[in-house]
Structure 1
Amino acid sequence: MTVECKVKSIEPLASNTFRILLHPETPVPFKAGQYLMVVMGEKDKRPFSIASSPCRHSGELELHIGAAEHNAYAIEVVEAMNQAYADGGSIQIDVPHGDAWLQEDRDCSLLLIAGGTGFSYVRSILDHCLSQNKIQPIYLYWGAKDSSQLYAMQELKEIAQKTANVHFIPVIENEEQNWEGKVGNVLEAIDQDFESLANFDIYIAGRFEMAGAARDQFVDHKQANKNRMFADAYSFI
């Protein structure tokens, strides 16, 4: 359905990454892990994961949009949001979309994998699990080029410290002084950490090539169940 939204706030999360809060004029039903489409024109709708969780969004929808200089697709959306915010106007969204939502009827372990701002997808799932007091093990791997892009790292560390079943593993591609986490490719880090992924439901958000590589690698070498791997990318690749 198409809904008018007020842009309540826009704030930077990291370099070229923004948190945007939208206030829909009517309640928006969605599931943890779904996405919305920002309507830029009659035939121009652009997808962004909903970072909010269904049970704790207080009538607002949170987006994390990475708008690096080379990404005109996202930059134009942020500019439209800024214009609507400045003018007190509104933007349109088409919602909900996506089949890679959290499967709540299962109690197996969860592996949440995010590349860059794909974190918004797994954030919704993690927050929903926390709100529902899920007790199964949850492993969240978040990969980025450098630590500055891991904008919610402190929040996730605190969640993992307070919640026994949540494990947060940050991974950066570039070596950094004083970095105590993993360095390299996020999929390689998972490959090293697990002998088998046979008993996991796996949720992935990032570049399509990462999602495709994860499916091939984990099904072929880690006994992952292809039917228990979820990513919006799998509808297109």
Structure 2
Amino acid sequence: MTIKCKVKSIEPLACNTYQILLHPDTPVLFKAGQYLTVVMGEKDKRPFSIASSPCRHEGELELHIGAAEHNAYAIEVVEAMQQALELGSDIEIEAPFGDAWVREQNKRPLLLIAGGTGFSYVRSILDHCVAQSIESPIYLYWGAKDARQLYAHDEIEQIAKAHQNVHFTPVVEQSEEQWQGKKGNVLQAVAEDFTSLEEFDIYIAGRFEMAGAAREQFTQHKSALTEHMFSDAFSFI
């Protein structure tokens, strides 16, 4: 379904990362963890996770787009959004898509794993679960190149403090002296912290190779069940 949207705002979240708020002209019904595509051309439709949650989006759709210099695929979308904002013109999207939405009926502990702006995917799931007062333990691991890319660090820390079932572990590849958290690879951090993942529903967003590595490593070494691992990347790898 093609939907016209106004670009309400574009705000920097971190270096080369932007929060974009879209106001669709018709309501978009979606599940936490689904994505939309931005229509750049008849055969050019680019997917981005919906960062807002379905229960609290108030008619707006939030995107987090990482547009580093080498990533023309994302830069062109941000530029199109900026032009639409300046001109008051429309952006077209199609939504919703994706099968990696949260299975809240499962009542299992949740493990949310994000790399970079894959955080937008787990942010939607986390916000939805908190809003729905889901009591299952929720473990969120967010990996980034450095602490500056953890643009919602303080916000998630506050959510974890307010909800005893929410546990947040940020992981950085490159750290400065004052960094007190985990260092290295986000999947390695998960592997170090859990003896078994058999009881978990696991939701993953990031580079395709990360999702593939998670599925392989966790099923082989941590007893994770394939049918309880969810990532839209699995449809492409």
TM (normalized to structure 1)?
1.00
Measure the CA separation in 1 of the matches of 2:133 and 2:162: 13
Q: Secondary structure at the match of 1:160?
A: helix
Query: Which string of whole-angstrom CA distances, capped at 9 and with x for unpartnered residues, describes residues 11-54 of structure 1?
Result: 00000000000000000000000000000001100000000000
Measure the CA separation in 1 of the matches of 2:138 and 2:194: 13
Tell me whether 1:148 sits opposite 2:148 in the alignment.
Answer: yes
The number of residue pairs the alignment matches comes to 237
Q: Secondary structure at the match of 2:104?
A: coil
2:216 corresponds in structure 1 to: 216
Q: Secondary structure at the match of 1:224?
A: coil
Tell me whether 1:99 sits opposite 2:114 in the alignment.
Answer: no
Measure the CA separation in 2 of the matches of 1:184 and 1:176: 13
Q: Secondary structure at the match of 1:196?
A: coil
Measure the CA separation in 2 of the matches of 1:105 and 1:137: 14
Measure the CA separation in 2 of the matches of 1:90 and 1:169: 38
Mapping 1:13-92, distance limit 5 Å: 13-92=13-92
Shift of 1:176: 1.2
Mapping 1:138-177, distance limit 5 Å: 138-177=138-177
* Unaligned stretches of 5+ residues in structure 2: none
* Unaligned stretches of 5+ residues in structure 1: none
Counterpart amino acid of residue 103 in structure 2? Q
Tell me whether 1:137 sits opposite 2:137 in the alignment.
Answer: yes
Query: Which string of whole-angstrom CA distances, capped at 9 and with x for unpartnered residues, describes residues 165-189 of structure 1?
Result: 0000000001311101000000000
Q: Secondary structure at the match of 1:111?
A: strand
Q: Secondary structure at the match of 1:105?
A: helix
Shift of 1:153: 0.1
The runs of at least 4 aligned residues of structure 1 exceeding 6 Å deviation read none
Please provide the CA RMSD for this pair.
0.4
Shift of 1:104: 1.8
Is the 8 Å Cα contact of residues 147 and 175 (structure 2) preserved in structure 1? Answer: no
Counterpart amino acid of residue 6 in structure 1? K
Q: Secondary structure at the match of 2:202?
A: strand
Measure the CA separation in 2 of the matches of 1:215 and 1:176: 30
Measure the CA separation in 1 of the matches of 2:177 and 2:162: 27
1:8 corresponds in structure 2 to: 8
Measure the CA separation in 1 of the matches of 2:9 and 2:206: 25
